Amino acid sequence: MPKQALPSLAGEDLRGRTVLVRVDFNVPLTGGGVGDDRRIRRTLPTLRRLREAGARGVLLSHLGRPGGSPDPSLSLRPVAERLGDLLEGGVRFVAEVRGAAFGEAASELSDGEFLLLENTRFEPGEEENDPELAAEWAALGSFFVNDAFGTAHRAHASTHALPRRIRADGGLAVAGMLVEQELHYLEDALREPERPFVAALGGAKISGKIDVIRSLLPRVDRLLVGGAMANTFFRGLGLETGASLVEEDRVETARSLLEEGGERILLPVDCVVADRIDDSADTRTAGRDEVEPGERIGDVGPGTRTIFAEEISRARTIVWNGPMGVFESAPFREGTMALARAAADVADRGATVVIGGGDSAAAVEEAGVADRITHVSTGGGASLEFLAGNPLPGIEALSEEEER
């Protein structure tokens, strides 16, 4: 069911009205300040639009995992400061997430100003999806915007109970511009992908991604498998994987996926192996059937890089989740960097390239090609859930298009 988005809200007279906005300000903090502020920057289009409309924005976000009680090291105060810099003023902060003070602070807002509440996860009700906590927030206004794609797969008070309450009270809950963009690229890639459609999956674990493989397998023309995930598939083929990371309890699953996928699944033909995986590891290239007991597979090998790059260069739609190797360590980074470059090259030629996953996003950034990628998702878990075909509670809770 199509959901309403910010433009339908912009049709309302928002001047002087309070709009509750769920944002994803779950950013790394370093030395008391904001480290990487990309997540903050990506909410700016929505916030600027609300400001132009003269709305008064009350912003909600979680940060880290304080586990339902206040933790001063996870305060959003430094985030409010950075947001104030980025928006050139007009950002207030209240060190409270429920109680009397935030209502008072919200009532002091001028048109176009924002108030960031303290970390929502300081309250146990947030992760419990507590309707009473949501009702306290909902009392502030009758409009809600979800621009936090990174937490759209969670049914929490600020992502689920709150928009439901707003709607129950006759208000409007819509997708922000970032969420709309995320859904647009992910939906298009799945619904009517321009072909060839190639998915590349890697990363540490197969278990978290099995549903994604199952859902993508019938749709893709090729599925490239790298990372430690490939090791479990190697075992499914009966190959020696030495001391590499393998999920023993998934070897059977890998075997049946290989049967189901046939020639559409491409595994690495060679690997970069070493006795240990670190920055000073002494590596060698091994065919996938030449790994010795005791050796560890840390990356895909040069032959695989060429094959994968060719597949990518022929594709018109690419979905990539999970690095091809331990790219954090120099001896094992080339497989991931080569894939990132191939993806950027084909995006330059008009293909749609969608990348999900926190580590994969960091890898394309490190390769210096992030700007050339069609869409780098802000939601690791959320994009995986979506690709696996599962509903996202934070999206489900928004107003339907024909509502009101």
Which does residue 37 touch among ligand ADP, Mg ion, none (CB within 5 to 8 A, set by kind)? none
For residue 247, give both structure tokens.
């999920």
Which residue numbers are catalytic?
A: 39, 205, 358, 381
* 357 counts as binding ligand ADP under rule CB under 6 A: yes
Select 239 or 362, whichever has its Cβ closest to Mg ion. Answer: 362
Minimum separation from the CB atom of position 259 to ligand ADP (A) = 23
**Contacts of Mg ion in 326-365 (CB under 5 A):** 358-359
Minimum separation from the CB atom of position 56 to Mg ion (A) = 36
Cα 136 versus chain centre, distance: 28
* 193 counts as binding ligand ADP under rule CB under 6 A: no
Select 128 or 240, whichever has its Cβ closest to ligand ADP. Answer: 240
Contact status, residue 33 vs residue 75, Cβ threshold 8 Å:
no
How far is residue 221's CA from residue 70's CA, in Å, rounded to a whole number? 49
* 321 counts as binding ligand ADP under rule CB under 6 A: yes
Select 164 or 296, whichever has its Cβ closest to ligand ADP. Answer: 296
Minimum separation from the CB atom of position 265 to ligand ADP (A) = 17
Ranges assigned E (strand) in 89-230: 91-94, 114-117, 143-146, 172-175, 197-201, 222-225
- Find the part of the chain contacting ligand ADP (CB under 6 A) among 102-110, 155-163, 358-366, 389-397: 358-366
For residue 398, give both structure tokens.
């928004």
Backbone angles phi, psi at 330, to 5 degrees: -50, -45
* Those residues with Cβ within 8 angstroms of residue 107's Cβ, 6 or more apart along the chain or in another chain: none
* 380 counts as binding ligand ADP under rule CB under 6 A: yes
H or E segment to which residue 102 belongs:
helix 100-107
**Contacts of Mg ion in 359-398 (CB under 5 A):** 359
Exactly one of 87, 210, 245, 258 binds ligand ADP (CB under 6 A); which one?
245
Task: Please choose, from the candidates 69, 199, 200, the residue with its C-alpha nearest in 3D space to the C-alpha of residue 126.
Answer: 69
* 360 counts as binding ligand ADP under rule CB under 6 A: yes
Omega prior to 196 cis, within 30 of 0: yes
Exactly one of 140, 228, 266, 398 binds ligand ADP (CB under 6 A); which one?
228
Contact status, residue 118 vs residue 75, Cβ threshold 8 Å:
yes
Ranges assigned E (strand) in 45-171: 56-60, 91-94, 114-117, 143-146
How far, in Å, are 131, 164, 182, 357, 390 from residue 155 at the CA level? 11, 11, 18, 20, 13
* 322 counts as binding ligand ADP under rule CB under 6 A: yes
Minimum separation from the CB atom of position 205 to ligand ADP (A) = 6
Minimum separation from the CB atom of position 95 to ligand ADP (A) = 32
Query: For residue 107, with 0-12 CB atoms within 10 Å meaning exposed, 13-18 middle and 19 or more buried, which class applies?
Result: exposed
Minimum separation from the CB atom of position 212 to ligand ADP (A) = 10
Total of chain residues touching ligand ADP, rule CB under 6 A: 19
* 323 counts as binding ligand ADP under rule CB under 6 A: yes
* 298 counts as binding ligand ADP under rule CB under 6 A: yes
Contact status, residue 367 vs residue 335, Cβ threshold 8 Å:
no
Binding site for ligand ADP (CB under 6 A): 202-204, 227-228, 245, 297-298, 321-323, 325-326, 328, 357-360, 380
Residue ranges that bind Mg ion, judged by CB under 5 A: 358-359
